[in-house]
């Protein structure tokens, strides 16, 4: 199986020409080493199967939204804002909404690669135990907000080669998503599937995952970095989504929520540059979907804070997220991973935390 090592490309703020050279050397070495895998031969047909081994859990019996508590939680997250933009004015979510009642702490990655995140880097038992420890740290740092663990799985990965259809993306076989769901069940976690479209589109990729997105415990992530609207090879430039792209996804998810009587879906959008998300003012907010902008840059604490201020705080959409890199956050002099205590001092306080 050939994968584009997405973790090594983040963030453009910290890249250099040497970084790109090393990246693509690693890419070709990784591709050559993995291309003999039987999974690569079978993945296209496997990914088109329409049955899953995992049965969805029952929809939570929540019939009324506590709007007073919702407002209180949102006000708490926005403490320190002087612009009046936070909390964002939006329709109340449907009953069963996770945010802002709970903080989601997620582990991100791909089961076929140890280079794309902690989810695929460690053996299952060790990974789940480490995630539970992170959850405890967040519970201690902010005792006012319940913490919900999550596994965030990259289900469509951008590629350095075009593949059979020239789309520069690879869909993971469904049995891998089923494996992640079974891991989540062991720790009462929710699950995300994440999409890197390459030269494909959200309209082509999101419906492929519909049978999973009809589960009440399944949510979605999308990555503008690898949306190559100009036809470039992923990794050569930073890609982008616009408001129409986001509105398509939220409309699709909203239809699923209404059709299947589901609680609201969380949509995580990764971001670390201005141009990655265009026309944000035209993004529609819906009661069926909760949008998180996940600050996705790596590096020194000061750099990450500045990225958060520029592209999350200054361009509010709905909820704020923040990514912590176990390795890349150490790549600059005097840099380190930020602690939960530091992150809840940000304005607004992030309600979704992702570890890679």
Tell me: the pLDDT tens digits for 183-206?
999 999 999 999 999 999 999 999
Residue 1: inside a domain, yes or no? no
Give the CATH number of the domain where residue 269 resides: 3.20.20
Domain with 251, as residue range(s), is 6-355
Residue 157 within a domain: yes
Q: Which residues contact 175 (CB under 8 A, 6 or more apart)?
A: 46, 53
**Is 351 inside a domain boundary?**
yes
β-sheet bridge partners, residue 170: 157
- Measured in degrees and rounded to the nearest 5, phi and psi for residue 346 equal -70, 160
Burial 206-219, CB ≥16 within 10 A → b, else e: bebbebbbebbbbb
Cα distances (Å, whole numbers) of residue 281 to 175, 251, 298, 322: 38, 16, 26, 21
Block residue for tokens 């999974």: 39
pLDDT number for residue 62: 61
Residues of the chain with pLDDT under 70: 1-62
- Residue 256 inside a domain? The answer is yes
pLDDT for 50 equals: 35
Residue 149 lies inside a defined structural domain of this protein? yes
User: Which residues lie below 8 Å from residue 51, measured CB to CB, with a gap of 6+?
Assistant: none
**At 241, which helix (H) or strand (E)?**
strand 241-242
Instruction: Determine, yes or no, domain membership for 156.
Output: yes
Q: Are 172 and 43 in contact (CB under 8 A)?
A: yes
Can you tell me the distance from the alpha carbon of 158 to that of 272, in angstroms, rounded to the nearest whole number? 18
Buried b (16+ CB within 10 A) or exposed e, 155-186: bbbbbbeebeeebbbbbbbbebbebbbebbee
Report d(CA 99, CA 285) in Å as an integer: 14
The Cα 21–Cα 30 span in angstroms is 14
Q: How far lies 106's CA from each of 33, 149, 326, in Å?
A: 29, 6, 13
Chain CA centroid to CA 126, Å: 22
Contact 72, 144 (CB under 8 A): no
Is 153 within 8 Å of 177 (Cβ atoms)?
yes
Q: Tally the domains of the chain.
A: 1
Is there a domain that residue 233 lies in? yes
């Amino acid at each position: 199986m050939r994968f584009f090592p997405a973790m090594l490309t983040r963030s453009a703020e910290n890249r250099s020409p040497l970084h790109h050279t090393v990246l693509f050397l690693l890419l070709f070495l990784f591709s050559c080493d993995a291309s003999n895998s039987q999974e690569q031969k079978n993945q296209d047909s496997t990914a088109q199967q329409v049955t899953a081994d995992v049965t969805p859990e029952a929809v939570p019996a929540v019939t009324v939204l506590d709007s007073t508590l919702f407002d209180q939680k949102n006000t708490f997250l926005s403490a320190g804002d002087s612009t009046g933009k936070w909390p964002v004015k939006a329709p109340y979510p449907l009953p069963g909404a996770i945010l802002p009642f709970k903080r989601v702490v997620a582990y991100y990655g791909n089961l076929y690669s140890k280079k794309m995140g902690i989810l695929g880097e460690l053996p299952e038992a060790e990974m789940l135990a480490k995630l539970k420890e992170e959850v405890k740290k967040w519970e201690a740092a902010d005792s006012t907000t319940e913490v919900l663990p999550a596994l965030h799985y990259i289900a469509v990965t951008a590629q350095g080669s075009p593949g059979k259809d020239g789309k520069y993306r690879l869909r993971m076989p469904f049995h891998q998503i089923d494996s992640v769901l079974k891991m989540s069940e062991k720790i009462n976690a929710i699950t995300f599937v994440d999409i890197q479209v390459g030269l494909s589109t959200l309209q082509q990729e999101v419906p492929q995952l519909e049978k999973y997105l009809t589960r009440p415990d399944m949510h979605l992530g999308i990555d503008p970095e690898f949306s190559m609207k100009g036809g470039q090879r992923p990794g050569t430039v930073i890609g982008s989504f616009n408001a129409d792209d986001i509105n398509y996804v939220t409309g699709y998810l909203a239809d699923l929520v209404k059709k299947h009587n589901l609680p609201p879906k969380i949509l995580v959008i990764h971001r670390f540059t201005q141009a990655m998300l265009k026309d944000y003012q035209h993004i529609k907010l819906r009661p069926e979907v909760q949008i998180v902008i996940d600050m996705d840059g790596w590096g020194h604490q000061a750099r990450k804070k500045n990225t958060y201020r520029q592209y999350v705080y200054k361009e509010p959409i709905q909820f704020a997220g923040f990514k912590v890199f176990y390795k890349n956050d150490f790549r600059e002099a005097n840099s380190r991973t930020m602690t939960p205590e530091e992150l809840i001092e940000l304005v607004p306080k992030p309600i979704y935390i992702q570890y890679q």
